[in-house]
């Protein structure tokens, strides 16, 4: 009886081999799939392990892991936190990554969203670079945007989760990721901020045009962030730098008065670039900034520094219009020289020096009067030096 049973098993094995020889690939895959489906939850991971070590099943291991991961997702509501289910998930994800089985990319991302367990998510992040991440760009953008909102609401950020996703977006190089990476550079600090910025620079798009549009159209905090990103961009040329400062100052001037303090940093940084580069094209914006700063200074002398900055910028623009504007205002200060307060005297000194830099002869009268009026000695000396530099 025992001999007959052994003979029956031997016949089954031979018949199985015959079936395998007809279509080995399909039969091996189907065999492992049947075994996986029929096995208990605790032994399913062993099926994946056996298949991983079976050379005959190597080329079909990807589809088998895809089946296993789809099984996990389907049953997640019942066994989400079960240790065996987690083991199956990890084994399947590792297999899909090691065999670079790209058809399962969508399934892997489903598992990423469906299992907030970090053990699983970290494994998925290791596998993602070997899959079709480009097809996930929009979904990753949405996920990071959600994480940013959570962080703003008070939930701690997970750098081990976000940094690899930033890297994926940078590698994908899709311009649709610009907004979320820009937002991430605002929301986070430290390594997370640097990671978002690094990914932003790797995207092969028109960084200059995108950032200028943000500066023109978006909220103050986004204007400043886009400005900073462009300034830190290694490929920014000198002409582009001037155009950037011009656009940024113009955008800052358009911000409503009740939000002007939020944009002051952008104004000052733009003004400094225009001053250092002598970007004459920005003269209309600088004059507008000067007039606004002058009006604020007249109402409150504590607003002296913005006005002084504007005057110093005008002094570097080498333009007759700038000289006429400053000479006119200096004449007004000259008319009440004896009554000027300390802050106003600092403004007068800045105007005298700027007019000396511009060296337009039309400013002679204002500078001459300044040199003979009862101003502090330093202003008188500066006025005399400015007169000596006038071009006739």
**Per-residue tokens: 34:** 């049947």
Answer whether 229's CB lies under 8 Å from 185's CB.
yes
Residue with tokens 């901020």: 193
Q: Which residues contact 325 (CB under 8 A, 6 or more apart)?
A: 287, 290, 314
Do 36 and 47 contact (CB within 8 A), yes or no?
yes
Give per-residue pLDDT as tens, 243-282: 999 999 999 998 876 566 778 889 999 999 999 999 999 9
pLDDT band at 26 (very low <50, low <70, confident <90, very high): low
Whole-number pLDDT of residue 255: 84
Other beta carbons less than 10 A from residue 59's beta carbon: 12
Structure tokens at 164: 């690899």
CA distance 215 to 238: 18
pLDDT band at 117 (very low <50, low <70, confident <90, very high): confident
Tokens at residue 287, please?
């004059």
Question: What pLDDT, on the 0 to 100 scale, is given for residue 90?
Answer: 95
pLDDT band at 28; cut points 50, 70, 90: confident
Q: How much is the pLDDT for 258? A: 57
Phi, psi of 360 (to 5 degrees): -95, 135
pLDDT band at 49 (very low <50, low <70, confident <90, very high): very high
Residue 353: predicted pLDDT: 97
Over residues 8-19, the mean pLDDT reads 33
Average of per-residue pLDDT values in the chain = 90
* In the predicted structure, residue 22 carries a pLDDT above the cut 60: no
In this predicted structure, the answer to whether residue 168 has a pLDDT above a threshold of 80 is: yes
Which tokens in the block code for residue 90? 């990890």
Q: What's the whole-number mean pLDDT along residues 15-40?
A: 65
- Per-residue confidence (pLDDT) for residue 31, from 0 to 100: 87
What does the pLDDT average to over 31-43? 89
**How confident is residue 76, by pLDDT bands cut at 50, 70 and 90?**
confident
Confidence of residue 59 (pLDDT cuts 50, 70, 90): confident
Question: Does the pLDDT value for residue 19 go beyond 80?
Answer: no
Count of positions (residues) in the chain: 392
Q: Is 6's pLDDT higher than 60?
A: no
pLDDT tens-digit series, residues 295-313: 999 999 999 999 999 999 9
Q: 382 or 32, which is more confident?
A: 382
> Once rounded to an integer, what is the mean pLDDT over residues 159-178?
97
Asked if pLDDT for residue 8 goes beyond 50, the answer is: no
Say how many Å lie between the first and final Cα of the chain, rounded. 126
**What percent of the chain shows pLDDT beyond 70?**
92
**pLDDT tens column, 236-253:** 999 999 999 999 999 999
Q: Report residue 388 as tokens.
A: 């000596």
d(CA 236, CA 246): 15
Mean pLDDT value of segment 118-137: 95
Residues in CB range of 107: below 8 A, 6 or more apart: 66, 69, 70, 73
Q: Which residues contact 33 (CB under 8 A, 6 or more apart)?
A: 64, 67
From residue 365, how far is each of 323, 334, 378 by CA, in Å? 12, 10, 19
- The pTM of the full predicted model, rounded to 2 decimals, is 0.84
Q: Which of 12-16, 118-122, 202-206, 379-383 has the lowest mean pLDDT?
A: 12-16
CA 10 from centroid of its chain's CA atoms: 65
Give residue 366's pLDDT: 96
d(Cα 387, Cα 363) in Å, to the nearest integer? 9
User: What is the pLDDT, as a whole number, of residue 337?
Assistant: 93
């Amino acid at each position: 009886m025992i001999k007959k049973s052994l003979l029956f098993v031997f016949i089954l094995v031979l018949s199985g081999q015959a079936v395998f020889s007809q279509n080995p690939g399909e039969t091996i895959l189907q065999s492992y799939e049947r075994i996986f489906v029929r096995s208990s939850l605790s032994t399913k991971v062993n099926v994946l392990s056996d298949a991983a070590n079976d050379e005959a099943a190597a080329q079909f291991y990807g589809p088998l892991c895809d089946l296993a991961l789809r099984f996990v997702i389907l049953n997640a509501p019942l066994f989400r936190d079960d240790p065996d289910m987690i083991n199956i998930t990890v084994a399947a994800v590792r297999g899909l990554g090691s065999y670079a089985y790209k058809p399962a990319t969508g399934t892997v991302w489903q598992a990423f969203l469906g299992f907030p367990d970090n053990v699983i998510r970290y494994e998925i992040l290791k596998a993602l670079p070997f899959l079709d991440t480009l097809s996930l760009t929009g979904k990753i953008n949405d996920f990071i945007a959600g994480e940013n909102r959570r962080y703003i609401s008070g939930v701690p950020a997970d750098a081990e989760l976000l940094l690899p996703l930033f890297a994926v977006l940078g590698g994908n190089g899709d311009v649709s990721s610009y907004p979320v990476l820009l937002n991430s550079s605002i929301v986070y600090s430290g390594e997370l901020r640097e990671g978002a910025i690094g990914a932003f620079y790797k995207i092969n798009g028109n960084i200059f045009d995108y950032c200028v549009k943000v500066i023109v159209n978006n909220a103050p905090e986004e204007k400043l962030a886009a400005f900073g990103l462009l300034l830190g961009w290694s490929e920014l040329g000198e002409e582009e730098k001037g155009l950037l400062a011009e656009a940024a100052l113009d955008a800052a001037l358009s911000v409503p008065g009740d939000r002007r303090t939020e944009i002051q940093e952008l104004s000052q940084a733009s003004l400094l670039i225009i001053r250092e580069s002598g970007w004459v094209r920005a003269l209309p914006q600088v004059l507008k900034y000067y007039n606004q700063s002058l009006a604020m200074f007249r109402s409150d002398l504590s607003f002296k520094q913005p006005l002084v900055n504007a005057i110093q910028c005008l002094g570097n623009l080498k333009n007759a219009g700038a000289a006429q504007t400053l000479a006119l205002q200096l004449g007004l200060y000259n008319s009440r020289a004896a009554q000027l307060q300390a802050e106003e005297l600092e403004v007068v000194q800045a105007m005298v020096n700027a007019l000396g830099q511009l060296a337009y002869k039309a400013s002679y009268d204002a500078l001459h009067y300044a040199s003979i009026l009862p101003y502090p000695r330093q202003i008188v000396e500066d006025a005399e030096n400015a007169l000596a530099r006038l071009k006739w």
